[in-house]
Amino acid sequence: MPFDKARADHAVHFINLLRHTKGKWAGHPFSLRPWQEKIVRDVFGTVNRDGTRQYRTAFVEIPRKNGKTALAAALALYLLVADGEKGAEIYSAACDREQASLAFDVAAAMVRQLPALKKILKVVDSQKRIVYPATNSFYRAIAADAASAHGYNAHAVIADELHAWPNRELWDVLTTSTGARSQPLIFAITTAGYDRNSICWEQHEYARKLLDGIIQDPAFYPVIYAADETDDWEDENTWRKANPALRDFRNIEEMRQLYLRAKEQPSLQNTFRRLYLNQWTSQETRWLDMAAWDASAGLVVPERLKGKDCFGGLDLSTTTDLTAVVLAFPVEDGKVEVLPHFFIPADTAREKEKRDRVPYTTWARQGFVHLTPGNVTDYSFVEQKIKQLAKEYRVLEWAYDRWNADMLVQRLTSDGAKMIPVGMGYASLSAPTKHLEALIMNRQLVHGGHPVLRWCADNVMVEQDPAGNIKPSKAKSTQRIDGITALVLAVSRLMLRTQKKSPYSERGLVIL
């Protein structure tokens, strides 16, 4: 496709006339950095044979503090004033009203600082709107809750922090509103997220496939600044790779401070990786340090554990989802060895692979997942497996979530199993959750690197009450955590039964 240098120059010149509005750069010319200028030139200078813009969608994924909001505001003003569209409707859209106001406030401040723009534009703060009467055009900031208000006829949409949008409704409403325009532009500018069922992840994956040459789409412009999964997140060279503004207007000292905290607090590690290295993470707040998890793997030999004492945890989940059965064996030196078993319906395994984006069928071939007959989990299959485990190992107690377990528990109890119901609140789960975390951090949980259990561990988010009690949260975790729930249940019984007892609890008091 041809490149129109004059159009690219026009866009760059306009944006460079604008002025920054905040911090030490306030009042200074915008002065696009080379990496920013490349984006602007590519988007506005690459044209079709008929002279219209080639790119209809641009996806720019970049870490925090690299000037996203200012660039979004500048683009909105250019599209409003200088793109040559009559009756243009320009929208900057965000997850909520507060976020939507950020780009608008910067754009409004830019207008007020430049007399030439102040003369031709009318800023309506109460409506988050900037009007250009000469062409009957306007720019408006809207939030995701405006999705129900159809009737848009967008010339351009600036999708701000797409990773935080609660659903895809507003995206669909706005992107389908451009059909009457000759050269519409959807410009998404965002940091990485953690919800892999979101519209942002969908666009991220599409952009990544374009960058990797897997697919082709001449109308989609992808830019991703991020650390690779194999990069050392503690290396400042990795930080520079992901942050093009570092050593310029991006403050490295602030990054160093959060890094030091994240190194000591695993719960902050995902925050650092996601917001500062632009890596998609498995959950909003990491509970477990996966480096510690991997270091704790060890070697589990089931044959060596046969006949040994152990405690079982059972998480039935639902009839269509992942069911987990985990055995925890107390061994020497305070270590705990783990044997997990997972079950999913055979007829829906491939469908679940697409939904959860994990290789269930491969895991099944490798023996890490049991496929139960039919399209729902066959609990009789699970029951037989539990009975088989009870014959091979000395299962002292089974801990289970009361929900949806009555019939299976009754049958197992009648077969001689000692079944212990465990509440799913803080009172029951906080102590074993913290104990499990300590086992992992002290390299005392030996799990053999089981891939399904590791996936569950990497997905876990925890809830915390004001007293500091914690528990795994299925509601907050974006992927399956059933294996860890079952493990916490098993640990809850193991803790109680392996604690040192007073001799008086065994033989009573002796009165002399």
pTM above 0.85, yes or no: no
Instruction: Choose between 136 and 2: higher pLDDT.
Output: 136
Vertex 227 angle, CA 222 and 232, to 5° = 165
Instruction: Tell whether 256 is covered by a domain.
Output: no
Residue-wise pLDDT tens digits, 247-299: 888 889 999 999 998 887 766 788 899 999 999 986 666 688 788 899 999 99
Q: Please check whether residues 322 and 411 belong to one and the same domain.
A: yes
Same domain as 322, residue 188:
no
Shared domain check, 38 and 186: yes
Express each pLDDT in 32-45 by its tens digit. 999 999 999 999 99
Domain boundary among 224, 242, 263: 224
On whether residue 512 sits in a domain, the answer given is no
**Can you say how many angstroms the Cα of residue 97 is from the centroid of all Cα atoms in its chain?**
22
So what's the pLDDT on residue 265? 73
User: Is 211 in the same domain as 299?
Assistant: no
Q: 48 in a domain, yes or no?
A: yes
* CATH number, position 68: 3.40.50.300
- Domain membership of residue 187 (yes or no) is yes
Q: CA-CA distance, 92 to 131, in Å (whole number)? A: 14
230 part of a folded domain: no
Any domain includes 267: no
94 touches 103 (CB < 8 A): yes
Q: Is residue 282 part of a domain?
A: no
pLDDT bin (cut points 50, 70, 90) of residue 24 is confident
Its sign, for the CA torsion 69, 75, 79, 80, is positive
Q: Are residues 215 and 319 in the same domain?
A: no
Are 97 and 218 part of one and the same domain?
Answer: yes
- How deeply is 175 buried, as exposed, middle or buried, from its count of CB atoms within 10 A (0-12, 13-18, 19+)? buried
- pLDDT tens digits, 173-221: 899 999 889 999 999 999 998 887 789 999 999 999 999 999 999 999 9
Q: Does residue 392 share a domain with residue 476?
A: yes
Is residue 180 located within the same domain as residue 313? no
* Whether 462 and 352 share a structural domain: yes
Q: Tell whether 427 is covered by a domain.
A: yes
Residue 499: pLDDT over 50: yes
Quick one: CA dihedral 481, 487, 493, 498, positive or negative? negative
Q: Indicate whether 296 and 218 sit together in one domain.
A: no
Whether residue 469 is found in the same domain as residue 331: yes
Name the domain boundary from 167, 192, 224. Answer: 224
Domain carrying residue 451: 292-498
Domain of residue 405, CATH code: 3.30.420.240
Of 184, 208, 224, which residue is a domain's last?
224
What's the number of domains the chain is made of? 2
